[in-house]
Amino acid sequence: MKQFIIFIRKEFKHVFRDRKTLLMLFGLPIVQIVLFGFALTNEINNSKMVVLDYAHDKGSQELIAKLEASRYFEIEKNLLSDKQLEAAFREGKIKTAVIFPPNFYHDLMHTNKTQLQVIADGTDPNTATTLVNYIQTITGQYQQQVMGQTKLPYRIVPELRMLYNPELKGAYNYVPGVMALVLMLVCVMMTSISIVREKELGTMEILLVSPFKPLLVILSKAVPYLIVSLVNLAVILLLSVFALGLPVNGSVVLLVSVSTLYIITALSMGLLISTTTASQQTAMLLSLMGMLLPTMLFAGFMFPIENMPLPLQVISNIVPAKWYYIIVKRIMIKGLGFASVWKEVTILFVMTMLLLGISLKKFKIRLA
Partner 1 sequence: MNPYVIKADKLTKQFGDFVATNQISFEVSKGEIFGFLGANGAGKTTAMRMLCGLLTPTSGTATVAGYDVYKQTEQIKRNIGYMSQKFSLYEDLTVIENIRFYGGIYGLPAKELKEESESLLEKLGLQDQSKKLVGSLPLGWKQKLSFSVAILHQPQVVFLDEPTGGVDPVVRRQFWDLIYDAAENGITIFVTTHYMDEAEYCNRVSIMVDGRIDALDTPGGLKTQFKAATMDEVFYQLARGAKRQAD
Would you tell me how many other CB atoms lie within 10 Å of the CB of residue 227? 15
Nearer Cβ to partner 1 (194/295): 194
* DSSP per-residue string spanning 273-315: HHHH-SSHHHHHHHHIIIIIHHHHHHSSSSS-GGGS-HHHHHH
Q: What are phi and psi of 250, to 5 degrees?
A: -90, -165
Please compute Rg for the chain using Cα positions: 28
213 vs 343, which CB is nearer to partner 1?
Answer: 213
Q: Which of 303, 299, 305, 353 is nearest to 324 (CA)?
A: 299
The minimum distance between CB 30 and partner 1, in angstroms, equals 25
Sequence letter at residue 311: P
Q: What is the DSSP letter of 157?
A: -
Stretch touching partner 1 by CB under 8 A, among 3-11, 61-69, 130-138, 274-282: 3-11
Report which of 185, 170, 131, 180 is spatially closest to residue 34, judged by C-alpha positions: 170
Q: Which is nearer to partner 1, 4 or 349 (CB)?
A: 4
Tell which one of 2, 90, 151, 161 touches partner 1 (CB under 8 A).
Answer: 2
Which CB atom, from 12 or from 338, has the smaller least distance to partner 1?
12
Task: For residue 38, give the DSSP letter.
Answer: I
**CB 122 within 8 Å of CB 128:** yes
- Residue from 7, 172, 225, 325 in contact with partner 1 (CB under 8 A): 7
Q: In 112-208, where do the E strands start and end?
A: 117-120
Site string for partner 1, 15-44 (x = CB under 8 A): --xx--------------------------
Question: Which one of the spans 11-19, 52-60, 75-83, 87-95 is the region binding partner 1 (CB under 8 A)?
Answer: 11-19
311 binds partner 1 (CB under 8 A): no
Window 202-241: residues binding partner 1 (CB under 8 A): 202-203, 205-212
Q: What is the four-CA torsion angle of 171, 172, 174, 175, rounded to 10 degrees?
A: 90
- Residue 109 identity: M
Q: What is the smallest separation between the CB atom of 362 and partner 1, expressed in angstroms?
A: 16
- Cα distance between residue 198 and residue 204, in whole Å: 5
Binding characters for partner 1, 283-302, by CB under 8 A (x = yes): --------------------
Residue closer to partner 1 by CB (options 39, 209) is 209
Cα 181 from chain centroid? 9
Residue 364 in the binding site for partner 1 (CB under 8 A)? no
Q: Distance between CA atoms of 20 and 284, rounded to whole angstroms?
A: 15
Of 50-58, 125-133, 180-188, 198-206: span binding partner 1 (CB under 8 A): 198-206
Nearer of residues 11 and 53 to partner 1, judged by Cβ: 11
Rule CB under 8 A: choose which of 12, 14, 44, 165 binds partner 1.
14
Q: How far apart are CA 58 and CA 35, in angstroms?
A: 43
- Contact positions toward partner 1, by CB under 8 A? 2-3, 6-7, 10, 13-14, 17-18, 201-203, 205-212, 367-368
